[in-house]
Chain A
Amino acid sequence: MLELKQLVKTFHRGTPNEVRALRGVTLTIERGSFVVVIGTNGSGKSTLLNAVAGSFLVDTGSIKMSGQDVTRWPEHRRAKFIGRVFQNPFTGTAPNLSIAENLALAAKRGRRRGLGWALDSNLSDQLRERVRRMGLGMEDRLTNAIGSLSGGQRQSLTLLMAGLMKPDLLLLDEHTAALDPKSADQVIRLTDDMIQRDKLTTMMVTHSMHQAAYLGDRLIMMVRGQIIHDFQGAEKRRLTPEALLERFEEVRRMDQLDEAAAEELRLQYV
């Protein structure tokens, strides 16, 4: 379904701010699998998601999706295959448009938009039914502007919009990180329900060890622009939040070791 080969991306190349965000990431994701991506700050996990979505083009490497080579495709073209939810609840919805209008936009994801009515009564009914199924009581407020909703409600709607047309690939970028705990739980529950029901191929970046341990059927851990662990099957099912924290601690110790070694070298030779 998704094939990433040796992805490399460096930001601000040749300046003092040079960041080597991706240093050769290779990853194949089967159709229907739910991959959780974790990593330290600046490890490149969000960059990886953005590279797949096409927010920028990678320096080298290739991206294949649904049998097509999309490496050079601009973001809006890849949207044909991809549904996305962002970390910021304000990024995924248009605040001055109504709930129904936002959903109508999502119903045309990646398709030609012509001069037909955006919201006919048939579509309105379908959308109301989808909103009702979420169980958040928003189905009677479809004409309200999105801007009047809470962050949690907006994120739930963004999730619904991303999954509305059953995308080949669902990308979730720390989509509960900016929410209060109660809303975060709700959004995660909706996320899992939707992924299970529609068997969506998913990549989810998260900061929560709890989510990482108990969601998904595969877990990838990134450090400094590379994948260092890849847990699948039974190995993934056995993971606990504590075990994951242990792995992070290992990484931290290795980093410190590196720093100590570098310091020693500096003292000896400089």
Chain B
Amino acid sequence: MTLLIGSLTMGLILSLLAFGVLISFRILAFRDLTADGSLTLGGSVAAALLVSGWNPWLATLLAILAGALAGATTGALATKCRINGLLAGILVMTALYSVNLRVMGKSNVPLMDSRTILSSAQQMAKENTKWDIGLWQVPAQDVCVIGLVLLLIAAVGAGMVAFFRTNLGLAMRATGDNSDMIRALGVDVDWMTTLGLAIANGLTAFAGALLVQYQGFADVQMGIGMVVLGFASVIIGETLVGSRVVVFLICGAVMGSVLFRLLVAIALRWGLNPNDLKLVTAVFVLVALVAPDLWKAARKRLSFA
């Protein structure tokens, strides 16, 4: 049961990462690899500030802003310096590795007893009390933590749905859908891309900041493979909801992220070597990308036979 709650919480936290990937890959159609770096940036900024006693909400906010700055840098490199989008992301991601080490001062920062957003939620219940939820008894503190995370995700998700219905948000969607058209309607596509990447990486950094507060430490390696992980969540979500409407995409991203975490937890339980996890994730994304085409081709061949 603890395992289930643990992976649910992780899944919810990482759905912020999925939101970020959703905005860059799906809405802007920009293959942004900055996320590997900006997730760690969010984590390291939050950790460094928390350890020196900052207010956890303020620390998280600054972590988000740092991520947004990283995303804006990638956007500026891609649009103003005309660097290929993939390369721009890789450059910023690589540079962020050093930045993250500078921010933390070492490669791993344990939070120790620092107050965090999640610890304040934890203290709403007494230690070692259990609550009955249906058939199970669960630690009350874990429930408070997951409740707070759920609230945060719901707020961010609702915010995104609202944003993409405003004039600005609609123009951003059109930027990814048909940039020629939206340029002819007077939108600065460069600026819109940069803004979108800033939002996407701000959300990714938010995921990093929460992750650090949940697991109790920041590590300079924690971002490796995160783009692929977020992309996997988005793909699972799209398959689950089967729609490209923004509201559904956003719900799908949360569902995909949580489901993916549960699958990982089950696989690990069944004896999957944790070292193989990234390989399995990459293969999974590959299959999810290729399978629909193979399936179509196979059906065509069958219908001809």
Contact = CB atoms under 8 A, between A and B. Distances in A.
Contacts of B168: 113-115
B186 A110 contact: yes
A163 to B, nearest CB: 13
22 contacts: A74-B188, A77-B186, A79-B183, A79-B187, A84-B184, A91-B180, A94-B177, A94-B178, A97-B170, A97-B177, A101-B170, A105-B182, A108-B167, A108-B185, A110-B186, A113-B166, A113-B171, A114-B166, A117-B167, A118-B167, A118-B169, A119-B165
Would you list the 9 A-B pairs with minimal beta carbon distance, nearest first? Answer: A79-B186, A110-B186, A94-B177, A113-B167, A118-B170, A94-B178, A94-B174, A115-B166, A84-B184
B166 A109 contact: no
B184 A105 contact: no
A105 B185 contact: yes
Contact of B178 (A53, A77, A95, A115): A95
A32 interface: no
Contacts of B178: 90-91, 93-95
B244 interface: yes
Given A94-B178, A106-B185, A115 B167 contact: yes
A13 interface: no
Interface of B: 163, 165-171, 173-174, 177-178, 180-189, 244
A118 B166 contact: yes
A79 B185 contact: yes
A246 B165 CA distance: 54
Interface size range on A against B: 35 or more
Interface in A94-108: 94-97, 101-102, 104-106, 108
Contacts, number: 89
A94 B181 contact: yes
A230 interface: no
Nearest to B177: A94
A116 interface: yes
Contacts of B180: 86, 91
Q: Interface of chain A, helix or strand or loop or mixed? A: loop
B227 to A, nearest CB: 23
Contacts of B170: 97, 101, 104-105, 113, 118
B164 to A, nearest CB: 9
Nearest to A80: B186
B184 A118 contact: no
A96 B177 contact: yes
A82 B163 CA distance: 28
A92 interface: yes
A79 B171 CA distance: 14
Contact of B187 (A76, A82, A91): A76
Given A80-B186, A96-B244, A116 B181 contact: no
- Interface centre among B163, B167, B180, B182, by most chain A C-beta atoms within 10 angstroms, is B167
Contacts of A102: 174
Nearest to B175: A94
A239 B170 CA distance: 46
A3 interface: no
Contact of B188 (A76, A97, A111): A76
B250 to A, nearest CB: 15
Contacts of A104: 167, 170
Contacts of B185: 79, 105-106, 108-110, 161
Given A95-B178, A101-B170, A76 B165 contact: no
A217 interface: no
A118 B187 contact: no
A75 interface: yes
A161 B168 CA distance: 18
A124 to B, nearest CB: 12
Contacts of A93: 178, 181
Contacts of A115: 163, 166-168
A25 B186 CA distance: 26
- Interface centre among B173, B178, B187, by most chain A C-beta atoms within 10 angstroms, is B178
